[in-house]
């Protein structure tokens, strides 16, 4: 085990949340005004609890956003940098603590296995570091392709992920599971990887990101998507994933506490194609949890579950229905900046 390094859990103290302003894309053609409204609401909500670092495509956009979101208890800091997309979770830096000091890890990003353009996204972290966004926190670059949404940490050296994504040949061809575990150990200090072979959401183009399927809520608890409708095509893969989760154990050998979150009723685009809606794509911030909702009956059920999971945090519903037209949600849009990266 690389004891010098530790990948913090999302519930640990944060300096800020990093966001990248959305730009028009084909899936958003019919709903882009709603996307902008929902995104501005996301910024305002986060700023009730902590600062936001917003990456904008130009100074004009940055100024417009400031005018539309001020005032707020916490700062909105804007920087200008080019990007292909807004899904910061997958190309923003991942922070580890090395001997209790933060270090940024900049992995390669290739557009979810070459599905989409990604050259600008792949360069974003380096651009931001040069602009001084992360103050004096050292940046470590790696040629290995890894997306932040494909991994989830308990903060104690245990990782949750999916084989279908992390072992995809379209990302790191020829790299074995054993080699992947070694790389996770060396770069992130991981000593145990829980691999899920099952789990799937229709409309998801990430090859099964874990942050849509199952997430740590604390070192002992995992929230996951559950489908009870045997006529739904999700039933079998999610039922198999649930069975896998029941078999894995904590470091002490005890099983995890599992809290099911309902699969939302089908959300579809104008072509009647199902969109990947998931309550598991929640975002933990300082003193609150932002829960994506989709204007579906299951929203209330999910919110009640989150109240059980996080009794000491404010549970806030965030309209994410416009976002999923481009196959992502609240967690996908954001990357937490842990304490010490930009604070002294």
Q: Which residues are catalytic?
A: 332
Residue 297 lies in a domain: yes
**Per-residue model confidence (pLDDT) at position 228:** 96
**pTM of the prediction?**
0.97
- CA atoms of 179 and 288, how far apart (whole Å): 37
Domain count for the chain, please give it: 1
pLDDT at 1 (0 to 100) = 42
Residue 162 within a domain = yes
Instruction: Indicate whether 312 belongs to any domain.
Output: yes
Residue carrying the six token digits 């070192």: 219
Neighbouring residues of 48: CB distance < 8 A, sequence distance ≥ 6: 72, 73, 74, 288
Does 111 fall in a domain?
yes
Structural domain includes residue 344 = no
Q: Is residue 46 part of a domain?
A: yes
Q: Mean pLDDT by 10-residue block, N- to C-terminus, for the chain (344 residues)?
A: 82 98 91 97 97 97 92 93 97 97 98 97 97 97 97 98 97 97 98 97 97 98 97 97 97 96 96 96 98 98 97 98 97 98 88
By CB atoms closer than 10 A (0-12, 13-18, 19+), residue 71 is exposed
Asked if residue 343 belongs to a domain, the reply is no
Residue 61 pLDDT: 96
214: containing domain: 5-338
Alpha-carbon gap, residue 111 to 118, rounded angstroms: 5
Q: Check which CATH number belongs to the domain holding 107 and give it.
A: 3.75.10.10
């Amino acid at each position: 085990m690389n004891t010098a390094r530790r990948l913090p859990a999302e519930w640990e103290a944060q300096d800020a949340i990093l966001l990248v302003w959305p730009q028009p894309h084909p899936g958003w053609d019919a709903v882009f005004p709603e996307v902008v409204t929902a995104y501005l609401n996301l910024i305002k909500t986060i700023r009730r609890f902590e600062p936001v670092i917003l990456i904008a495509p130009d100074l004009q956009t940055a100024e417009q956003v400031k005018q539309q979101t001020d005032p707020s208890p916490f700062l909105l800091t804007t920087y200008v940098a080019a990007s292909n997309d807004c899904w910061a979770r997958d190309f923003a830096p991942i922070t580890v603590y090395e001997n209790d000091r933060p270090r940024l890890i900049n992995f390669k990003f290739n557009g979810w296995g070459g599905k989409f353009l990604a050259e600008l996204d792949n360069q974003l972290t380096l651009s931001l570091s040069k602009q001084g966004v992360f103050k004096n926190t050292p940046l470590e670059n790696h040629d290995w392709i890894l997306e932040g949404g494909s991994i989830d940490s308990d903060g104690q050296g245990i990782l949750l992920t999916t084989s279908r994504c992390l072992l995809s040949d379209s990302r790191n061809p020829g790299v074995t599971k054993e080699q992947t575990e070694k790389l996770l150990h060396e770069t992130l200090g991981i000593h145990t990887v829980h691999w899920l072979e099952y789990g799937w959401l229709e409309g998801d183009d990430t090859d099964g990101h874990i942050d849509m399927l199952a997430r740590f809520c604390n070192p002992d608890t995992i929230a996951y998507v559950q489908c009870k409708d045997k006529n739904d095509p999700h039933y079998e893969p999610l039922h198999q994933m649930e069975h896998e989760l029941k078999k894995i154990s904590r470091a002490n050998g005890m099983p995890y506490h599992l809290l099911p979150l309902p699969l939302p009723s089908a959300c579809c685009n104008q072509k009647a194609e199902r969109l990947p809606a998931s309550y598991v794509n929640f975002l933990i911030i300082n003193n609150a949890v932002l829960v994506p909702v989709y204007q579906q009956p299951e929203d209330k059920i999910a919110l009640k579950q989150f109240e059980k999971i996080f009794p000491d945090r404010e549970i806030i519903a965030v309209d994410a229905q416009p976002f999923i037209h481009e196959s992502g949600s609240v967690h996908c849009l954001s990357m937490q900046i842990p304490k010490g990266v930009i604070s002294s």
